[in-house]
C-alpha cells in the first residue's frame, strides 16, 4: 500500500495544481456564472491537503507497519474523490443535490486523520 499511497498522493498533488489552474483560467466564466468560485477553490484546497496527507501516510509506512495506516490512506483517497469530485461537478453543472454527497467525502477524510492518529498512538 505504501507505494500506492506515495504515487497516488503525488498524482493528486499534481492534479490539484492542474485543476486549480484550469479553474482559474478555462473555467473562470462558468464558475462566475454559477457563483461557485469559492466552492471550486475549497475543492482544490482539500484535494491538495489530502494529497499531502496521503504522502505522509506513505512515508510513515517506511517506519511503522500498522493495518490502520492502510485504512487511513484508503480513507484519504476515497474522501478526496467523493469530497472534491462532487464539488468539482457541482461547480461546473450547478446540480445542487451533489452538495449532499460532499459531506460523505468529508467523513472519509476525518476518518483518515483519526485512523492515522490512532495507528501512530498504537505504534510509536
For 43-64, the pLDDT digits (tens) are 999 999 999 999 999 999 999 9
Cell of 115: 485512523
Q: To the nearest 10°, the Cα dihedral for 52, 53, 54, 55?
A: 50
Given pLDDT bands bounded at 50, 70 and 90, which one contains residue 99? confident
Distance CA 76, CA 15 (A): 15
Whole-number Cα distances in Å, 44 to 15, 66, 102, 115: 9, 29, 13, 23
Distance CA 105, CA 103 (A): 5
Look at residue 55 in the predicted model and tell me its pLDDT. Answer: 98
Given pLDDT bands bounded at 50, 70 and 90, which one contains residue 35? very high
Look at residue 101 in the predicted model and tell me its pLDDT. Answer: 96
- The C-alpha cell 462566475 sits at 32
Given pLDDT bands bounded at 50, 70 and 90, which one contains residue 108? very high
Cell of 16: 490539484
Chain-wide mean pLDDT for the chain? 96
* Percentage of the chain exceeding pLDDT 90: 95
- Is pTM, for the whole model, over 0.85? yes
Amino acid at each position: 500500500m505504501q507505494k500506492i499511497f506515495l504515487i497516488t498522493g503525488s498524482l493528486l498533488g499534481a492534479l490539484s495544481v492542474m485543476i486549480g489552474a484550469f479553474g482559474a483560467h478555462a473555467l473562470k466564466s462558468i464558475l462566475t456564472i454559477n457563483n461557485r468560485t469559492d466552492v471550486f477553490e475549497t475543492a482544490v484546497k482539500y484535494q491538495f491537503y489530502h494529497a499531502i496527507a496521503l504522502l505522509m501516510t506513505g512515508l510513515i509506512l517506511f517506519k511503522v507497519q500498522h493495518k490502520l495506516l492502510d485504512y487511513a490512506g484508503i480513507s484519504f483517497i476515497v474522501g478526496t474523490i467523493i469530497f472534491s469530485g462532487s464539488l468539482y461537478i457541482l461547480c461546473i453543472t450547478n446540480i445542487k443535490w451533489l452538495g449532499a454527497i460532499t459531506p460523505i467525502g468529508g467523513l472519509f477524510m476525518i476518518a483518515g486523520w483519526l485512523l492515522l492518529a490512532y495507528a501512530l498512538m498504537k505504534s510509536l
